[in-house]
Structures are given as structure tokens and as C-alpha cells.
Structure 1
Amino acid sequence: MKKAFVFLATGFEETEAIGTVDVLRRGGIEAVTVSITGAKQVSGAHGVDVVADVLFTEADFSEADVLILPGGMPGSNNLNAFEPLKELLLEQYRKEKAIAAICAAPLVFGGLGLLKNRKATCYPSFEPKLIGATITDEAVVADGNVITGKGPGLVFDFALAIVAHLKGEAVAEEVAAGLLL
């Protein structure tokens, strides 16, 4: 079974995190939520508390097929400030495995140099943080092993792009149909 890790920091965008997890699980992907805060309960940007499956320090990322960053503020900045996550993203990228970020969270990839010579999208006004990227206005951009999404209203497009990347277009279309998309 394909395995995805969705990272939760204080101030994460709830729709992007939970919506992505839901769509991935519908697609037969094991989606694990990971708190980087040191506590399993993490507060979202709009006051929704979520209990993560594991703490970052407890997780085994060796079988990760994709690492996913939901956006939101200050969640994206909190993800960006967490050095162990950035090291993990660099390792995943070097192995040519998938990484995905939506909304403001692609700023983490930009700061790590992971968007150089790649097309990417993000929430409007965060484009300057996507260092080295060719910015598009598309809802979702999949460029090789890097997937970026524009924002919360496009979470289904984002999550389905991840499903398509890991399991193929047919599975993504089946999940979309089940969601009436």
C-alpha cells in the first residue's frame, strides 16, 4: 500500500489537511497525520483542533511515498521553521520521491531550492517565496515528483493529483466520481 504523511503545525489550514487525508484514504493510500508540535492535538488556523496519528519524533518515514504540507497561516511558517521536516523533505526529494504542498506551504519548497526550474502554484501573494519556480495560475501543478496546489477551495484537485501520481489516473477518476466531482 502506498503511504503518505501529512504534516500538521499550529495554524495549519484545516480544509487542506483533512480534505487531503480523506481523498487519499478513499484512493487506498495510507495517509498518516504527523504533528510537528510535540503534542498530538494540533490547533488549526480557524480554531479546529485535530488529533494527529503520530508525533514527528515517533514516525518512521522510511516507507514514505509522498510527504504533504497543508498551508494556512501561521502553519506554513511553522512548518518552514521546523528543521527536521526540512531535512526530511530534502532527503525525500533526493530519492526522487514525491513531495506536495498547497496554499502558502510551497514557500517551504522554495526556500529549500526544490522548485528551481519547475512549474509551481500557490496562494496568491506567496509567489515571491517560490524561489526559482516558473509560477502558474493553475489550480494544481504536478512537475515531476513535486506537486503544488493553489488553496483551500482546490483541495480536491490537489489531493486527486496526489492519488493520480501514486496510483494512476484511473484510481483518481474513480475517487472523483465517488465524490461527485
Structure 2
Amino acid sequence: MEELCYSALDIAAVIASMGLGCQAQAKFLNRIWENERPFLQKDYRDNKRQMILDVSHWLTYFSDKPTIDTEFPVIQKDAQTVGRELEADAYITETSGLDLFFKSVRLRILYGEGKPYIRVKRRTLMGKYGYKRLSPALVEYFHQCIYFYHLQPYVRDYAECQIEDVGIDEMIVFRVI
């Protein structure tokens, strides 16, 4: 389950998608530290300073990603001259893991300034992450994330549901339980 815990990159991606200002970012990070520590990766559970520094690093990256990506080959070459190697995937690829959706849902509901729920069509959710149909493995992963992040999916009129039972164009409402 450690792979489902929040990394600094995950938190930065959520903050970047919310468009928070500096004070709101600091408040958001403090609330995560105070209330979500069991969900943080082990490196951050006892080290608030490191969590904030690493999130800030990734936020800087997200703020100027095109420029940094164009300079990456030069940085990689410089690293090789001193005997180091940088993994391009860690810096160039988008963070589009399906677990990021569920992390974002939990954090936005609990600590965002908006509504106490998140709505999304099943087609949109699957399409955003490159899935066209529900395989048994994908359904199991949905259930694992929903359980881990203490989420409950609903359809209209607060009727609890299972994601696999919802029609492809139906709206799913997620709430934290």
C-alpha cells in the first residue's frame, strides 16, 4: 500500500491543479501535515521540512515545465560528466497515474475551498488515464484506491454504487467517508 501514499510530486500536482497562491499553499500543506500524516510516504511522516522542500521543488518544476524540459538534455550531460545519471522519465513525463485522481479527490474534498464532493463521468475518468473499458484488474484497482482513501462513490440521490455498475456516461459523485 506504500505506493498509494502521497509523494511530494503527488501533492505538488494537486496544488498546481488547484491554482493556489502562496498563503493558500502553505495552509494546504500544513493541513495535510497535521491531518494526513498516515497517508504520506514514509520519508515525510516525521519530516515536515523535507516534505515542504520537496513539494516546493516539484511546484517550481510545474510552474516552468516547458523551459526545464528543453534544458534537460544539457543538465543530463552535465550530470554524466561528474559520473551521475538522471532518469528522464522522472522529470519529463506527466504525472498521470490513476492513483493521483483518487489522491486529488481526497485532498480537494478535505482541504480545498470548494464543495464536499467531486463529480466526474466514468467515461471522463477512464479516458483521462487512457482506459477504454473496465478490466477486472482495473476494477480491483478502483476498489483498492476507494478503500485506501476512504472514499464512497454515489450516483443520483446519494445512492451508493460500485464504479463498475455505473453507466459509461453517468456521473459519479465521490465523498470522503
Scaled by the length of structure 1, the TM-score of the pair is 0.28
Q: Which structure has the larger Rg?
A: 2
Scaled by the length of structure 2, the TM-score of the pair is 0.28
